[in-house]
Amino acid sequence: MGGASLSILSPSKPIPDPDGEDLQNPSEALLQAGTKNPISSAKPPTNAILFTFILLTTSVAIAASMAFAFLFFSSSSSSQSPPPSIPSIPLHLATRPLTRLNKPVVILISSDGFRFGYQFKTPTPNIARLIANGTEAETGLIPVFPTLTFPNHYSIATGLYTPFHGIINNRFVDPASGEVFTMRSHEPKWWLGEPIWVTVANHGLRAATYFWPGSEVKKGNWSCPSNFCQNYNNSVPFEERVDTILQYFDLPISEIPVFMTLYFEDPDYQGHQVGPDDPAITEAVGRIDRMIGRLIQGLEKRGMFEDVTIMLLGDHGMVGTCDKKLIFLEDLAPWIKLPSDWVMTITPVLSIRPPSGVSPSHVVDKMNEGLSSGKVGNGKNLRVFLKEDLPERLHYKASNRIPPIIGLLEEGFKVEQTRSNEQECGGAHGYDNAFFSMRSIFIAHGPQFARGRKVPSFENVEIYNLVTSILKIKGAPTNGTASFPNSILLQS
């Protein structure tokens, strides 16, 4: 901006005339005025003319230089001063008042497998806008264990650790009935706790879900209404998902859902195929940013962007895996044989349910003996526990759905039952949530969040209480901290 001003105002450039023609250089104008003086038609001596010319030229040059210097330094000092920083609103100040909406509205967006740090892989101007004008978990959002899609999405929705909401894995067996839970199981018996859309409906308010694990399950006053609850279909274009959410804002103000979810499979899909460091991840992150931009622009067009609370997060991170990081259960045969029907899940969370009559403690002891022997490839990278002996921080024991034996892998390692000729390098998640690679993002923008604020990382079980606090409704009991919303939200 300073450079452009200088090029226009510099006396060495023609000065545009208001009528469109360029005025002459000031030195030339003065010279012409001296040589075309109408008062005297007599020709002055050559030396006098030359002296007069030099004197006038020097005077003009000095004046122009002084003017140029003044403009330059004043312009430079203006252009070189740092841009005004976005003020961080003190927590004692009130939330920003709503102008178009008559009540708070929250859009909860999940970008599956968006590992913390992905936002720096490529320019993400729309995500950056939310960060600059909102609140961000400075070193990412901490998932619950196991760091898998269904357990974490449902923890976000309920505020409960996995044993308490019942979705202990993406796939598991109920030990009492023998029935198998899969990601297509929508029977209420599997889904414990009270997800946020049910809480909203129980308060007589409207919620809308565009994909979220558990949202198709009918619970309480939530019936998954056809106009406001989409059955999962991964072939639906991301643009269509965003546009559907935007259409809700075209409803009469009193009919706009106060809570909405929006889900994208990327960049988890690419992460599994190629790991976290491939150009495909960069492309996927850019695509997510464009979808956020599409949402922002649509809300701005409706004059509602500043009224709406947007929470952008992920369910877990991603880490690279490769064949050299494999552990084969068949290699434990000298110590203990592990039939495949004992193994409930194999990687990255190894879970084993021995038949009745086989002591889980004995199995754990023999497995650890073999793994620590130095004779099992990569054995030191797998630790096996009775579930009651797992670290308390994992919160992964208080359910009979969890098998009695759990194996924890080091970052990037995988377990297989037997050797095969398949060669594989890709990405995985599900590991200990203490690994930084498992962290995702949390970015919130809206009337209740300070601009440009960074907060310490926190577990995703706190999200439920955040939403109920913003919506000013009473939530169900959770594993979250009751006071957490007070530490992150502006006071209303």
- From the list 152, 136, 118, 175, the residue with the least C-alpha distance to 431 is 152
Class of domain 326-424: alpha beta
Structure tokens at 218: 């009918």
Q: What pLDDT is recorded for position 90? A: 55
Q: Output phi, psi for 306, to 5 deg.
A: -70, -15
Q: What pLDDT is recorded for position 1? A: 41
Tens digit of each residue's pLDDT, the chain (492 residues): 433 332 322 333 333 333 333 333 333 332 333 333 333 333 444 444 444 444 444 444 444 444 333 333 333 333 333 333 333 445 456 789 999 999 999 999 999 999 999 999 999 999 999 999 999 999 999 999 999 999 999 999 999 999 999 999 999 999 999 999 999 999 999 999 999 999 999 999 999 999 999 999 999 999 999 999 999 999 999 999 999 999 999 999 999 999 999 999 999 999 999 999 999 999 999 999 999 999 999 999 999 999 999 999 999 999 999 888 999 999 999 999 999 999 999 999 999 999 999 999 999 999 999 999 999 999 999 999 999 999 999 999 999 999 999 999 999 999 999 998 776 789 999 999 999 999 999 999 999 999 999 999 999 999 999 999 999 999 999 999 999 999 999 987
Structure tokens at 320: 């690279």
Alpha helices in 214-278 (DSSP H): 238-248, 268-274
Q: What pLDDT is recorded for position 154? A: 98
What residue ranges of the chain are covered by domains with CATH 3.30.1360.180?
Answer: 326-424
**Rounded Cα–Cα distance for residues 451 and 372 (Å):** 51
- From the list 298, 317, 255, the residue with the least C-alpha distance to 119 is 317
Q: What pLDDT is recorded for position 487? A: 95
Instruction: Give the residue carrying structure tokens 């946020």.
Output: 196
What residue ranges of the chain are covered by domains with CATH 3.40.720.10?
Answer: 105-320+434-488
pTM of the model: 0.81
Q: What pLDDT is recorded for position 14? A: 33
Question: Which 3 state secondary structure label does DSSP give 72?
Answer: helix
**Rounded Cα–Cα distance for residues 319 and 349 (Å):** 14
Residues marked as catalytic? 149
* 105-320+434-488 under CATH 3.90.1150.10, yes or no: no
Strands 425-428 and 319-322: antiparallel
